[in-house]
C-alpha cells in the first residue's frame, strides 16, 4: 500500500445531514493535509432504501453502514463518515473507528408550532418519533400523548409539524438541527434528566481500514479525546447489553466540567410503555473509559436490564407499528 497519496475519498450516505457531516470532515482533512485533493462520494445504504418500515422492525445492525464498510474494504473510499449512533457495536476486524471530532449537542429537542415545554402540548397531542428510546421516555413523561411512528430525513419530519400539520410535535436530535442550520426551529430542549440520549448521539465517527496507518495519522489530528472516551464508554454498554439505537435504552457519558478527569455515565433501560425502568449512574477516571462502560453494563445487568429489554423486544414483535 502506498504511504503517500494526493487523492482522498470520503464515503457517506446521501441525506442532507450525512452530506453536511461528510463535508465537515472533508474540510478538516483538507486543513490537516493541504496538498490533498479531497472528494466526497455518496453511497446509498439499506436504511436509505427502506422508508416505509420502522427501523426497529427491520433490525438496526448495519442498516446505515454495511454498504460503506464494503466500499472501504474494496478500497473505493479512504474513510466512511457516520453518525455514531448508527454504528453497530461490533465492526469487521479489518475496520476501526479512527477518529471522532468534538461532539455536538447530545440532547433531544422538540419542534412544535406553539409552546416552549411538554406541558404546552394539548392532551392527546400527536407527537412523531421513530425511536423506541424516545417513546419509552415520553410515555413516562406524558402518558396521554399519541406517539406516531415516523421515518424520513429531518426536513420531512419538520414538514409534518410546520407545513402539513399532520403532527402536533416531533422529537429530534438537536445535533442534526444544529448542523443543518435549523436551530431556530427548536421549540425547547429535553434535558438529560427528562430524556437520556442514544448511544453515540451527537458524535461523528470516521471509520477507516485497520492497516491504513497513513489515513489514521491524518484523521487522528482532529479527533477529540473527550468525545472518543465518552462515546467508546457508551458503546461498551451497547456491546454487553446488545442494545442498539432501536432498543428502549439510552446512555450518556461525559467528562464533568468541574472534574475534567472524571467520566460520568447516566443510563436507563425501559419497557416500551415506560412503566418498568432501571436508571443508574456511575463515575470513574476518564482514562478508564472502557472499564467505566463495562462496569455500568454490569450494574444494569445485575438490576435486571436484560429481562426488561428481552420483554420489550418480544412485545414489539407483536405490534403492527405503522409508519406515517
- Per-domain boundaries in the chain: 1-102+203-223, 108-190, 225-317
Average predicted confidence (pLDDT) for the chain = 91
pLDDT above 50: residue 14: yes
Q: 318: how many CB neighbours lie within 10 A of its CB?
A: 6
pTM: 0.91
Give the helix ranges, DSSP H, for 142-224.
154-162, 174-179, 213-219
Intrachain domains 108-190 and 225-317 with the same fold: no
Find out whether 154 and 17 touch, Cβ atoms under 8 Å.
yes
The CATH H-level (homologous superfamily) assignment of domain 108-190 is: Periplasmic binding protein-like II (3.40.190.10)
16-49 pLDDT per residue, tens: 999 999 999 999 999 999 999 999 999 987 665 5
Q: Which of 69, 78, 86, 266 is catalytic?
A: 86
Q: What is the mean pLDDT of residues 73-80?
A: 96
Assign domain 225-317 to its CATH architecture. Answer: 2-Layer Sandwich (3.30)
Q: What is the pLDDT of residues 252-294, one digit of tens each?
A: 999 988 888 999 999 999 999 999 999 999 999 999 999 999 9
Is 212 annotated as catalytic? no
What pLDDT does 1 receive?
A: 44
| Cα–Cα distance measured from residue 282 to residue 251, given in angstroms and rounded to the nearest whole number | 11
Question: Domain 1-102+203-223 - what CATH class?
Answer: alpha beta
Rounded distance, CA 202 to CA 206, Å? 13
- Residue 317: predicted pLDDT: 80
Amino acid at each position: 500500500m502506498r504511504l503517500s497519496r494526493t487523492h482522498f475519498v470520503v464515503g457517506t450516505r446521501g441525506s442532507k445531514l450525512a452530506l453536511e457531516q461528510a463535508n465537515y470532515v472533508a474540510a478538516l482533512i483538507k486543513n490537516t493535509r493541504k496538498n490533498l485533493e479531497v472528494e466526497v462520494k455518496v453511497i446509498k445504504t439499506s436504511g436509505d432504501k427502506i422508508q416505509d418500515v420502522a427501523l426497529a422492525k427491520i433490525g438496526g445492525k448495519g442498516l446505515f453502514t454495511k454498504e460503506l464498510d464494503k466500499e472501504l474494504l474494496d478500497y473505493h473510499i479512504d474513510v466512511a463518515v457516520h453518525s455514531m449512533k448508527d454504528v453497530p457495536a461490533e465492526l469487521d476486524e479489518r475496520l476501526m473507528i479512527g477518529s471522532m471530532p468534538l461532539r455536538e449537542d447530545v440532547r433531544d429537542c422538540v419542534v412544535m408550532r406553539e409552546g416552549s415545554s411538554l406541558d404546552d402540548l394539548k392532551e392527546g397531542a400527536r407527537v412523531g418519533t421513530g425511536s423506541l428510546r424516545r417513546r419509552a421516555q415520553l410515555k413516562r413523561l406524558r402518558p396521554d400523548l399519541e406517539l406516531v411512528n415516523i421515518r424520513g430525513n429531518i426536513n420531512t419530519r419538520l414538514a409534518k409539524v410546520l407545513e402539513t400539520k399532520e403532527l402536533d410535535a416531533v422529537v429530534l436530535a438537536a445535533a442534526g438541527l444544529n448542523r443543518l442550520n435549523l436551530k431556530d426551529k427548536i421549540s425547547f430542549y429535553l434535558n438529560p434528566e427528562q430524556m437520556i440520549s442514544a448511544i453515540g448521539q451527537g458524535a461523528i465517527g470516521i471509520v477507516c481500514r485497520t492497516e491504513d496507518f497513513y489515513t489514521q495519522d491524518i484523521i487522528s489530528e482532529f479527533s477529540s479525546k473527550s468525545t472518543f472516551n465518552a462515546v467508546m464508554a457508551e458503546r461498551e454498554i451497547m456491546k454487553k447489553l446488545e442494545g442498539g439505537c432501536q432498543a428502549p435504552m439510552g446512555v450518556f457519558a461525559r467528562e464533568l466540567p468541574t472534574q475534567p478527569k472524571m467520566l460520568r455515565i447516566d443510563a436507563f433501560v425501559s419497557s416500551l410503555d415506560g412503566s418498568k425502568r432501571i436508571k443508574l449512574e456511575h463515575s470513574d477516571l476518564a482514562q478508564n473509559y472502557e472499564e467505566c462502560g463495562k462496569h455500568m453494563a454490569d450494574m444494569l445487568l445485575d438490576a435486571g436490564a436484560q429481562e426488561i429489554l428481552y420483554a420489550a423486544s418480544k412485545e414489539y414483535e407483536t405490534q403492527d407499528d405503522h409508519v406515517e
